Amino acid sequence: MGRAVDTLTAVGRALVRAPGPRLAEGIVTHAVRRPVDVALAVRQHEAYVAALRSAGWRIRAATAADDQPDAVFVEDALVVCGDVAVLGRPGDPRRRGEIDGAERAARDLGLRVERIEEPGTLEGGDVLQVGDTVYVGRGARTNEEGVCQLARLVGGRKVIPVAVRGCLHLKSAMTALPDGGLIGLPDQVDTSVLPGLQVVREPAGAHMVVLGPDHVLMAASAPRTAARLRADGLRVTSVDISEFEALDGCVTCLSVLVP
């Protein structure tokens, strides 16, 4: 069994940002583009937030960014490590307008703010914290310079770059269980730096938000993985996020948990 995910072992605040009216225009890189029902997405987001609240997390809403189609994926804008919020620099320039609102939210939470500077790029979906280890996906959205800058800003933690392929972010391919064990899709990550990765067959089964020491939040599109985890003794809350999945999103993208 691995070490517990340090930033998620205690209930705290959950930063979210509501989907805006231009959500359907969001960037699609790996999914097959289809129409997005914005009204349904709003309801799904409300249910997602309700699940966080029901698990004891206090909801903090970032200022709306209605001119930014992808702003609902608030995780990509910042990484919280202890009392530090590192503002990302999105690999796709179309998303850089999301950062200002994330900075205001981080300061409202009382966090010390740092930022990734040019030529570095980094999106929070590429950052997975497990104990004192920080795995950082290196691919289309996060580059080597971004990884190096993050390593300096989260000093004292072991930073491990992970090559990703065929997916948007590292956490599109893998996340961590409450005990710190890694779970995901081995064909999309460099498994040589990920000993003990538990393999799943459903893409959405690679994504989970740890809500408590034995509680995870997952997408409803991974029923077999959810059943497996329940059989292992975990409490699983499933939410339908189909309209966000149509935009390469997953459950981790929609919040930043701050203990």
Residues 6+ apart with CB under 8 A from 239: 44, 47, 48, 51, 217, 218, 219, 220, 251
Which burial class, exposed, middle or buried, applies to 74 when counting CB atoms under 10 A from its CB (0-12, 13-18, 19+)?
A: buried
Phi, psi angles (nearest 5°) of residue 10:
-125, 140
Residue ranges in the chain assigned as alpha helix (H): 38-54, 99-108, 144-153, 170-173, 223-231, 242-245
Is 169 marked active-site?
Answer: yes
The catalytic residue among 167, 169, 207, 250 is 169
Q: Are residues 182 and 165 in contact, defined by beta-carbon separation less than 8 angstroms? A: no
Annotated active-site residue in 81, 167, 250, 253: 253
Q: Which residues are catalytic?
A: 169, 253
